[in-house]
Amino acid sequence: MEQKRDTRFPKEHLRLLVEGKLDWEEVKKAIRLAPKDNDRFWKYLEVLQERVPWKDKILLRISDHLYIVAKEGGGRVVKCDCGHEFGDYRVNWKLGCRIRTRKTLEEMAEVVAVEEAAPEPHLVEIREYYCPGCFSQLGTEIVPEGYPPIFEMLPDLDTFYRDWLGTPLPDESPDWFQDKTLERPAEWAKEG
Ligand SMILES: [Zn+2]
C-alpha cells in the first residue's frame, strides 16, 4: 500500500531484524520508539514478500516457514516459503504434513539431550511435522497418543485488517474466521 513512509524505523532495519542481524541497540530503539512507526506492519510484509520466491500476497506470517497468502483467483491458503501449499488456512496445516512420531524413550532421547527432561513415553508422544515440499520441520508437539493435532493459530484476519490496520481485506466475509479442520478427515472418509 502506498502511504507516506515513517522512516524512524527504516525498512532496512526491519529486514536486518527479520534476518536476525540487527544490532541489539537498534532493536531496543525499535521496541521503545513512541509512538511506533505507523507503517511498521506494512514494511514488515514487504520485507517478507521480497524474501520468498513466489508472488502470492502474504497476509500474515504464522511461523518461521509458513504464511497465510491471498490467492489470485480467490482463497486464503497456508504456504511454505518453499512454495508448497497446504490449502485453506481454516484447516490445520498439520493435516497436510509428513509426520514423524517418537513413542519410545530411545526415540525421544535422540532429540532430548537431558534424560530428566524427556517426556514420559507411556503418557505422551512427540510429533514432528515436516513440509512435504522442502522437509523443513514446521512444528513439534508433545501430546497423549490419539490427541488431535493442535491447531496453533487461526487468526481473525478480517478483524485484524479492518479494526487494527484500518485497511479491510477485499474479500472480507464472516465465513473466514471458522475452524474447518474437521472437514478434511470427513473428506478422507468419503474417499474411502
Ligand atoms: Zn516447504
* pLDDT given at position 3: 60
Task: Evaluate if residue 137 carries a pLDDT over 60.
Answer: yes
CB of 111 within 8 A of CB of 101?
A: no
SS (H, E, C) 5-73: CCCCCCHHHHHHHHCCCCCHHHHHHHHHCCCCCCCHHHHHHHHHHHHCCCCCEEEEECCCCEEEEECCC
Cis ω for the linkage preceding 35 (within 30 of 0)? yes
Segment 58-102, tens digit of pLDDT: 999 999 999 999 999 999 999 999 999 999 999 999 999 999 999
Segment 2-30, tens digit of pLDDT: 567 888 899 999 999 999 999 999 999 99
Separation of CA 46 and ligand 1 centre (Å): 20
Separation of CA 96 and ligand 1 centre (Å): 11
Separation of CA 138 and ligand 1 centre (Å): 8
Cell of 187: 473428506
